[in-house]
Amino acid sequence: MTAEMGVSQSADSNLWRALGLKLHLVEQFRVSPDSQLIDKVHDMADLCLKPARRGDRTLR
């Protein structure tokens, strides 16, 4: 996944840890039916790759 996305292994690990995903512990993976899932994952990835600064008012 990291090679396709062009991110480092540590950034990838941080993202998985931040989202609480532990795919190695499950036999089946189910995708959430949440219609905003992609947007939420993108937001989390942006925060992990470019953390917000103190006082940044662009946070939702």
Using the Cα atoms of residue 16, residue 20, residue 24 and residue 28 in order, give the sign of their dihedral.
Answer: negative
What is the reported pTM?
0.39
Mean pLDDT on 45-57: 74
pLDDT digits (tens, 9 = 90+) for 4-20: 777 788 888 888 888 88
Distance separating alpha carbons of residues 8 and 57, to the nearest angstrom: 28
State residue 59's pLDDT score. 52
Q: What is the pLDDT of residues 30-49, one digit of tens each?
A: 777 888 888 888 888 888 88
